[in-house]
Amino acid sequence: MIKHFTCVICPIGCEIDVEENEGKLILLNGNMCARGKEFVIQELKEPIRVLTTTVRIKGAEFNMLPVRTDKPIPKRLIPIIMEDIAKIEVNAPIKMYKVIVKNIAGTRVNIIATRSM
């Protein structure tokens, strides 16, 4: 079975075609570096992403604080994590990189602030 991927590891955005059979990589075309191959292997196994979003903040100039995960999370968990994040409200002041939520959804991944407010 042939699958098509657009690599998101670097700005090049290689268009990679992959042939796989029963979870084994048979053929890989289009990657310009080894990181593209690593990306495809991870995508076939379990897609992961760094999640960037916002949480409500009180007492700051703006009412939303930008946050992100400190490590990639399984893509399938994004809707569950977004439900948890939607319930969060923090109070200013907040420093950049402060942990807002530890171990979100049992992933061992933290939600951190990406701006001081």
Q: Which domain range does residue 58 map to?
A: 52-113
Residue 73: name the closest of 106, 109, 43 by CA: 109
Whether 40 and 74 share a structural domain: no
Q: Could you report how far apart the first and last alpha carbons of the chain are, in Å?
A: 49
Is residue 23's pLDDT more than 80? no
41 with 57, same domain?
no
CATH number at residue 104: 3.10.530.10
Q: Do 40 and 61 sit in the same domain of this protein?
A: no
Read off the pTM: 0.84
In this structure, the answer to whether residues 39 and 78 fall within a common structural domain is no
Which residues have a Cβ under 8 Å from the Cβ of 44 and sit 6 or more positions away? 3, 18, 20, 23, 25
> What would the pLDDT profile of 35-82 be if each residue is shown by its tens digit?
999 999 899 889 999 999 999 999 999 999 999 999 999 999 999 999
CB-CB neighbours of 35 under 10 Å: 14
Indicate the pLDDT class of residue 86, thresholds 50, 70 and 90.
Answer: very high
Total domain count, the chain = 2
Is residue 61 domain-shared with residue 79, that is, in the same domain? yes
